[in-house]
Amino acid sequence: MREKLNKIARDTNLFLKKFIKKQKKSELITPMKYGLFSGGKKIRSKILIDIGSLFKIDYKSLIIVGSAIECIHAYSLIHDDLPCMDNDTIRRGKPSTHIKFGESTAVLAGNSLLTLAFEILSHKNLNISEKAKIDLIGKISHSSGHLGIAGGQFLDLNYEHKKISKKKVIEMEIKKTGKLFSFACAAPLILKSKGKKEIKKFEKIGADIGLLFQVADDLIDHKGNLIIAGKKTGKDKKKGKATLISLLGYKNTVKYANNLILKINKNLTKYGSNSKNLAKTLDYILYRNK
């Protein structure tokens, strides 16, 4: 798994470096690159490529769409660490972007990474129909705004130190993390001009994968350590974050995550033997320690 992820990370970073190099220079490029290239597993791109393999989508297009996703992901982490959000000083084993460059620069570098995603998807490098481009941009915007990352992050902060129901915690985790995975799962179908119904089905699968990913992240916060995880752990409890662990306890949360994997795999087996790629990625997501 590590080798496959490393290859995706290399190809994605190479594309992004070339894309940025072709643009005019600006002072924000250094903090943007810091947020983009200082490690990162590229798991969203891996999911995109796994789903792409079910529909025989060419690798190059997937790397370009994945690069846009990774820009939005990197922006969300820069902002997530800000003092007004989770107030975290270490990310991927290094000082967070606002520690290194200052708060206002981190906010603006984050904004610029968010919009870079739309530049990438609308660029001529991505050799797909105009309709597919518009659909991709529409969906990725939806995943990032008030019904996606931003809305979920708002709830995450608003729920601190409150008693929140399981249903609401799950809704919040799906918004802040799941929606971008929904996009990763729907994008290959958009590239294949599939119908609305099938796209919706894959968005649902993506939401479950994203939920699994966030639950695993919460498990790492609960039992992991700074050196391996590359970020401070034990913070969710201190900050009174509403998580499934705070509601169900550690063991039942692991059970919940395993059931999610069963559910996701069940929905995918009919897509043939290539669905094994995704099954392996799901196991990696739950059993990783960073």
Q: Does 173 bind ligand IPE (CB under 6 A)?
A: no
Question: What is the Cα–Cα distance from 233 to 251, expressed in whole angstroms?
Answer: 18
Candidate segments 35-43, 109-117, 196-204, 258-266, binder of ligand IPE by CB under 6 A: 35-43
Q: Does 94 bind ligand IPE (CB under 6 A)?
A: no
3-class SS of residue 96: coil
Question: Which token pair is 244?
Answer: 């499934």
Q: Which residues bind Mg ion (CB under 5 A)?
A: 80, 86, 217, 221
Strands (E), 126-200: none
CA-angle at 126, arms to 123 and 132, nearest 5°: 95
Q: Does 231 bind ligand IPE (CB under 6 A)?
A: yes
Q: Does 148 bind ligand IPE (CB under 6 A)?
A: no
Q: Nearer to ligand IPE by C-beta: 192 or 232?
A: 232
C-beta separation of 213 from 275 below 8 A: no
Question: What is the Cα–Cα distance from 283 to 278, expressed in whole angstroms?
Answer: 9
Q: Does 222 bind ligand IPE (CB under 6 A)?
A: no
Minimum CB–partner distance for residue 217 and Mg ion (Å):
4
Question: What is the Cα–Cα distance from 48 to 238, expressed in whole angstroms?
Answer: 34
Q: Nearer to ligand IPE by C-beta: 128 or 140?
A: 140
Chain residue at closest Cβ approach to Mg ion: 86
Which of ligand IPE, Mg ion, none binds 135 (CB below 5-8 Å, type-dependent)?
Answer: none
Q: Does 224 bind ligand IPE (CB under 6 A)?
A: no
Counting every residue, how long is the chain? 290
Minimum CB–partner distance for residue 220 and ligand IPE (Å):
8
Which of ligand IPE, Mg ion, none binds 191 (CB below 5-8 Å, type-dependent)?
Answer: none
Amino acid at the residue 17: K
Q: Does 260 bind ligand IPE (CB under 6 A)?
A: no
Query: Phi-psi bin for 193: left (phi > 0), alpha (psi -120 to 50), beta?
Result: left
Chain residue at closest Cβ approach to ligand IPE: 40
Minimum CB–partner distance for residue 218 and Mg ion (Å):
6
Which of ligand IPE, Mg ion, none binds 40 (CB below 5-8 Å, type-dependent)?
Answer: ligand IPE
How many beta carbons lie within 10 A of that of residue 195, not counting itself?
Answer: 9
C-beta separation of 212 from 282 below 8 A: yes
Minimum CB–partner distance for residue 114 and Mg ion (Å):
16
Taking each helix axis as running N to C, give the angle between helix 179-191 and helix 196-223, from 0 to 180 degrees, rounded to the nearest 10: 150
Q: Does 32 bind ligand IPE (CB under 6 A)?
A: no
85 secondary structure, DSSP code: T
Interface residues toward ligand IPE, by CB under 6 A: 39-41, 43, 76-77, 80, 86, 88, 92, 149, 153, 176-177, 214, 217, 221, 231
